Structure 1
């Protein structure tokens, strides 16, 4: 973990501009094709959700600006971005997880399963450990949405990317997943979101 040299950053003026806004976040929704990942999960008996979340985390960790966080008046650059996602309980409530990212799917999956077990055996909303070096994500598998809005805490310096994944839909021979992403414009532009979706699709198209 290190700090960004804001004074010599080519986005210095953009950073300052968007920090003056009451709500500097922006979000969009796009479909990604998950046909190969869906088939891979089916063949291996893995959770499809964990498979595509792992691909998502690979993409997040490949985009420099998605690893930036505003802390006080500094911009922290995290070496690794971990995962924080909602985990459902049988009674329809949920808890927030926090677990370490690994490029190795088996390690990542085990980390998730341990958090899932913790949440399903407790009533706690928040995880016992947390860092801003993560993303917040949730699955909304009941609705194939085309728009999405995240709750706003009122903290305009909140800079943890927020993602949501919708209900699968079929288009001819393709299986599509709606993905919403919400980011702080002081740190992230449309270009970086485009990089994320490009890398995410590349990871989803891989067959490991």
Structure 2
């Protein structure tokens, strides 16, 4: 973890402008093609959710601006971004997880399983360990949405990207999944969101 030199940042004026807004966040929804990774998870008897979440985290960790977080008036740069995903319980409530990221799918899957077991065996909402060096994400597999809005605390310093994954729809023989992303515009622009979706699709198309 290190601090960004805001004065020498080429986005300095953009940063200052969006910091003046009451709500500096923006979000969008885009479809990703999950045909290949869905089949891969099925063939290997793996969780489709864990598979695409890992691909998502690999993409997140390649985009510099998605590693930036606001802490007071400073911009902190995290070396690694982890996943704080909602995990459902049998009674249809959920708990917030904190899943350590690893480039290795096997290690990431193990970290996920540990958090899932913790949540299923407790009534806790929040994980015992947490850092701003994460993303917040939820699966909403019941709805193939085209729009999405995240809750906003009213704190302009909220800068953890929020993602949601929707229900798959079939179109032109492809399996498409809507993905919503919400970010703080003081740190992230549409260009960086585009970088994320491009890299995410590359990871989803890999066969390993």
Q: TM-score range by the shorter chain?
A: over 0.9
Aligned partner of 2:128 in structure 1 is 128
The count of aligned residue pairs is 208
Question: Distance between the aligned counterparts of 1:147 and 1:127, measured in 2?
Answer: 29
Give CA deviations for 1:119-165 in whole Å, capped at 9, x if unaligned. Answer: 00100000001000000000000000000000001111100000000
Query: For residue 98 of structure 1, what is the aligned residue in structure 2?
Result: 98
Does the alignment pair 1:160 with 2:138? no
Which position in structure 2 is the counterpart of 1:53? 53
- Counterpart CA distance in 2 for 1:13 and 1:181 is 24
- Report the CA distance between 1:172 and its aligned residue: 2.0
1:20 aligns with 2:20: yes
Within 2, Cα distance between the matches of 1:201 and 1:43?
A: 20
TM-score (ref. length: structure 1):
1.00
**CA deviation vs aligned residue, 1:37-87 (integer Å, no higher than 9, x gap):** 000000000000000000000000000000000001100000000010000
> How many angstroms does 1:9 deviate by?
0.2
| TM superposition score normalised by structure 2 | 1.00
- How many Å separate the matches in 1 of 2:179 and 2:30? 5
Q: What SS does structure 2 have at the residue aligned with 1:40?
A: helix
- For 1:68 and 1:113, the matched residues in 2 are separated by 27
Let me know the Cα RMSD of the aligned residues: 0.4
Distance in 1 of aligned mates of 2:198 and 2:97: 26
Q: Does 1:204 align with 2:204?
A: yes
Aligned position for 1:174: 174
Aligned to 1:186: 186
Is 1:147 equivalent to 2:147 in the alignment?
Answer: yes
